[in-house]
Amino acid sequence: MSLRNEILQVTKELLIKEGFSKISMRRIASRANVTATSIYLHFKNKDDLLLTLIEESIKTLKQALQDSVNSEYGLTDQLRILAETYINYALNHPQEYEIIYMVRPEEMPKYPKDKFRDVRSAYELIADIIRESDHHEYIEVEDSLISAYTFWAQLHGVVSVILNRRLDTRIPQSTFIDQSIEHIIRGFINQKTPA
Amino acid sequence: MSLRNEILQVTKELLIKEGFSKISMRRIASRANVTATSIYLHFKNKDDLLLTLIEESIKTLKQALQDSVNSEYGLTDQLRILAETYINYALNHPQEYEIIYMVRPEEMPKYPKDKFRDVRSAYELIADIIRESDHHEYIEVEDSLISAYTFWAQLHGVVSVILNRRLDTRIPQSTFIDQSIEHIIRGFINQKTPA
Amino acid sequence: MSLRNEILQVTKELLIKEGFSKISMRRIASRANVTATSIYLHFKNKDDLLLTLIEESIKTLKQALQDSVNSEYGLTDQLRILAETYINYALNHPQEYEIIYMVRPEEMPKYPKDKFRDVRSAYELIADIIRESDHHEYIEVEDSLISAYTFWAQLHGVVSVILNRRLDTRIPQSTFIDQSIEHIIRGFINQKTPA
Amino acid sequence: MSLRNEILQVTKELLIKEGFSKISMRRIASRANVTATSIYLHFKNKDDLLLTLIEESIKTLKQALQDSVNSEYGLTDQLRILAETYINYALNHPQEYEIIYMVRPEEMPKYPKDKFRDVRSAYELIADIIRESDHHEYIEVEDSLISAYTFWAQLHGVVSVILNRRLDTRIPQSTFIDQSIEHIIRGFINQKTPA
DNA sequence: AATGAATGAGGCTTCATTCAT
DNA sequence: AATGAATGAAGCCTCATTCAT
């Protein structure tokens, strides 16, 4: 593995293990068995390194979602698969997920706006799926973009609770996930609350 | 305002404006127009200061939720009101919310376990409401605790998206909130996904 | 006990328990259950407090030595009793001993010269005893002052080793003391090294 | 001179000139005309710096003692030479001596046990010499280890008095040393105190 | 491509002391 | 006689970064 990639990898690990505030050039360097100075041969500065990380992470999440799209699924199945994909990605790549969604913009100096736009395009993907669905009879879609965000927000909530270790220890994680997905999907079905 | 309160206030502001990692005793002191040393007259150390903040924030959130409980409501109404209360609290007290739920445990050295338990008791409140409801015919409650966490996770997702400024600028915040609550409540109604 | 005495007592305890460098006005105050400010009501400043401590400690050591002098003893017995008294005092009042002899003058800002002179008068006491002794046949006393210092130096060495916890744990302290006193006394007996 | 050595040297000087409690990273740096940060390029932290100093000092003392051992000497001569070597070392390397014996363990956080053992091995050296001597008829050696400690304690006392500047100014230092060595050696000769 | 040395800023914390009450 | 609030200096240490090699 090239040093550049090693640095990126190490940084991801540090991020998830010790949190954003504990990331330092020295720590990264030490983990990668190089001098802090060496990092500057591959990245302009700390911001550059972190932004590179963000970019790459966004790319892999988008790819994972796109790979789970199949026009042959019905809408419900498609949403369920998207939800599962999303949650799986987040739990299997907590570092990347952390970087994309859980690091507050304020902590990221000079986080450029076009990166944000890049992240948003992931929701467009979900919005497209909902919009293009044939199954309008089943679903509430006054506005597919809002629905996409609603869908995502709920998924993000589920993931956050787990990644932040706020889930009650008495609850098995898989049960929580299954039931959450069930709730989320059901919320999208076009049935008004019974009178 | 007493200096103690001023320090707490300033810290909250710093937290929301610049993020957790930018909080420092010097910065807090400077904002409060005192020497860093003076903070130690009111708090044992940085942890003590942050934990005080956490404790107080948890208290106010729990109070807000408790105040919104009324046994005369039907379950749906009660859940809706809880959801609204929760989201309103988070948006009106972003600093407090941030402290309670969005700061990663890793960033909080020695975050004591009993504080965690304190936070959890807020979910128990929700769990109790679901459990004690008369309206079992309407709701899926195989396990009220899991349901409470699911409910909370979804609310947390909605709040996170907004507080983290990840909501698409084309979407009005209030519309997003209303629709999200609708989805969440609907997900709890006892209707299986149509075959 | 008056607060003034309480402060002196607490300071002595701190000195022996935590070492000179750990003594601080705040720590002293906290141990005495008063505010740091209160110390300044009884002592001009930290130096004043420490010097008071020194003065009082010197006084008690001198008194102990003087009390162990009895003109009816023979020289050897008198020296042995002085040695025992000295070592006992040091071990029973380690704080005072520490203050008098083991704190380096450099650590004690503005340690006044007349205080040093006061300490020295303790050796004069020993010197006097040696000088006035009838038993010149037994002892090497070309210069009683030097002898007094030699005597003291050896006692001090014994005490230092114990107080500094440098004595090998395999050696019982009492055995070490007994044997040391034996050696010291014997060194004073007027017998040339066998050819 | 390398900065590392310069730092060690400067620290030794500070120790003897201002005392242990006045040693600070800033002061050391300032004396060495570098930033405090630079010290950390050569030593992990303050303890590491001090322990390095200790280790090196112990090594040189042990070497000096070992070099003065010669199996051709008689015991008395050997002890006298050891005593002279010891005192000479202490007076010529006061900083090192200070570090090894006069700094209280309490002041030295995390002073590792194996370092203590290292120091002790110096006494074992003396104990060995006494034990292996042919001249048992002349000497009291119920327990050579205790004798070694007694011997050392007395030497240490002599050195302490001088290094702590407690020797009466009327007494020439060399006279004091000569006479002290005489006393110490004589104390070891196998003659009971006359009845 | 990589390093070692260095720095200035800033992190948390404790210090002795003063001042108004 | 005692306190609480406050300060400026200093303690140890880590940071991101630069520069010469």
Interface of D with C in 166-185 (CB under 8 A): 166-168, 170-171, 175-176, 179-180, 182-185
The set of residues, in sequence order, having a beta carbon less than 8 Å from that of C161 and lying 6+ positions away, is C167, C176, D149, D152, D153, D156
Residues of B in contact with A145 (CB under 8 A): 168, 170-171
Distance B50 CA to E15 C1' (A): 24
DSSP states of C55-101: HHHHHHHHHHHHHT--TTS-HHHHHHHHHHHHHHHHHHSHHHHIIII
pLDDT-derived band of residue C108, with 50, 70 and 90 as boundaries?
A: low
What nucleotide is nearest B38 when CA is compared to C1'? F6
Classify residue B170 by burial, with Cβ atoms within 10 Å: 0-12, 13-18, 19+.
exposed
- Both structure tokens of A25: 């050039």
* C30 sits within 7 Å of strand F by its CB: no
Residue B172: predicted pLDDT: 93
Q: Given CB atoms, is B110 within the 8 Å cutoff of chain A?
A: no
Go through B115-131 and write b for each residue having 16 or more CB atoms within 10 A of its CB, e for each that does not: ebebbbebbeebbebbe
Helix (H, G, I), strand (E, B) or coil at C139: strand
pLDDT in tens, D62-88: 888 889 888 788 888 888 999 999 999
Evaluate if residue A193 carries a pLDDT over 50. Answer: no
Helix (H, G, I), strand (E, B) or coil at D35: coil
- Chain D nearest-CA residue for C184: D187
pLDDT-derived band of residue A112, with 50, 70 and 90 as boundaries?
A: low
pLDDT-derived band of residue C78, with 50, 70 and 90 as boundaries?
A: confident
Residues C86, C146 contacting (CB under 8 angstroms): no
- Give the residues across from C189 on adjacent strands: C139
Residue D173: predicted pLDDT: 94
Q: How far apart are CA C150 and CA C140, in angstroms?
A: 12
- The more confident residue out of D116 and C37 is C37
CA separation, residue D88 to residues B137, C31, C140, D76, D178 (Å): 96, 43, 24, 18, 12
pLDDT in tens, D136-175: 545 555 677 888 889 989 999 999 989 888 888 888 999 9
Residues of A in contact with B115 (CB under 8 A): none
Query: Which nucleotides of strand F lie under 7 Å from a protein CB?
Result: 1-20
pLDDT-derived band of residue B98, with 50, 70 and 90 as boundaries?
A: confident
Interface of C with D in 69-108 (CB under 8 A): 76, 101-102, 104-107
Q: Which domains does chain A have, with CATH numbers?
A: 1-43 (1.10.10.60), 54-186 (1.10.357.10)
Residue C123: predicted pLDDT: 72
* B163 sits within 7 Å of strand F by its CB: no
Task: Please name the chains neighbouring B, where neighbouring means 3+ C-beta pairs under 8 angstroms.
Answer: A
Residue C107: predicted pLDDT: 65
pLDDT in tens, C111-139: 666 666 666 677 777 777 776 665 554 45
Nearest to A149 among B21, B171, B193 (CB): B171
Least confident of B158-172, C18-32, C135-149: C135-149
Inter-chain residue contact D158 with C157, CB threshold 8 Å: yes
Residue D189: what are its φ and ψ, rounded to 5°? -75, 140
Residue B193: predicted pLDDT: 40
* D23 sits within 7 Å of strand F by its CB: yes
pLDDT in tens, A136-156: 544 555 677 888 889 989 999
pLDDT-derived band of residue C177, with 50, 70 and 90 as boundaries?
A: very high
Residue B195: predicted pLDDT: 37
Residue B102: predicted pLDDT: 62
Q: Which of C61, C142, C168, C177 to mutate to test the interface with D (most CBs of D within 10 A)?
A: C168
| Mean predicted confidence (pLDDT) in D15-19 | 81
Nearest to C191 by CA among A150, A58, D182: D182
Q: What is the DSSP letter of A61?
A: H
Least confident of A85-94, B42-51, B65-74, B150-159: B65-74
The set of residues, in sequence order, having a beta carbon less than 8 Å from that of B42 and lying 6+ positions away, is B3, B4, B7
Residue C6: what are its φ and ψ, rounded to 5°? -60, -45
Residue A94: predicted pLDDT: 85
Residue B194: predicted pLDDT: 41
Q: How far apart are CA C18 and CA C189, in angstroms?
A: 40
- In angstroms, the separation between the Cα of residue A153 and the nearest Cα of chain B is 5
Nearest to D183 among C150, C171, C194 (CB): C150
Residues B95, B15 contacting (CB under 8 angstroms): yes
Nearest to D179 by CA among C149, A121, C93, A171: C149
The set of residues, in sequence order, having a beta carbon less than 8 Å from that of B126 and lying 6+ positions away, is B65, B82, B148, B151, B152
Residue C16: predicted pLDDT: 77
| Mean predicted confidence (pLDDT) in A78-97 | 90
Protein residues with beta carbon less than 7 Å from any atom of strand E: A 3, 34-38, 40-42; B 23-27, 36-37, 40, 45-47; C 22-27, 36-37, 40, 45-47; D 3, 34-38, 41-42
- In angstroms, the separation between the Cα of residue B114 and the nearest Cα of chain A is 13
Residue whose CA lies closest to nucleotide E7 C1': D35
- Both structure tokens of D69: 């051992």
Q: At what angle do helices B173-188 and A144-163 cross, to 10 degrees?
A: 70
- In angstroms, the separation between the Cα of residue A124 and the nearest Cα of chain B is 10
Q: Given CB atoms, is C193 within the 8 Å cutoff of chain D?
A: yes
Q: How far apart are CA C20 and CA C104, in angstroms?
A: 10
| Mean predicted confidence (pLDDT) in C146-157 | 89
Q: Given CB atoms, is A156 within the 8 Å cutoff of chain B?
A: yes
Residue type present at position A8: L
pLDDT-derived band of residue D194, with 50, 70 and 90 as boundaries?
A: very low
Nearest to D160 among C160, C183, C185 (CB): C160
* D27 sits within 7 Å of strand F by its CB: yes
| Mean predicted confidence (pLDDT) in A44-51 | 89
| Mean predicted confidence (pLDDT) in A118-141 | 64
Nearest to A151 by CA among A178, A180, A175, A172: A180
CA separation, residue D78 to residues C54, C183, D69, D89, D131 (Å): 40, 18, 7, 16, 13
Residue whose CA lies closest to nucleotide F2 C1': C38
- In angstroms, the separation between the Cα of residue C95 and the nearest Cα of chain D is 13
Residue D106: predicted pLDDT: 63
- Both structure tokens of A12: 């991801």
What nucleotide is nearest B3 when CA is compared to C1'? F5
Inter-chain residue contact B186 with A184, CB threshold 8 Å: no
User: Where are the strands (E) in chain D, listed by range?
Assistant: none
Residues of A in contact with B19 (CB under 8 A): 104, 106-107
Tally: H helices and E strands in chain B: 9, 0
Give chain A's end-to-end CA distance (angstroms, integer): 62
pTM over 0.75: yes
* D66 sits within 7 Å of strand F by its CB: no
pLDDT-derived band of residue C15, with 50, 70 and 90 as boundaries?
A: confident
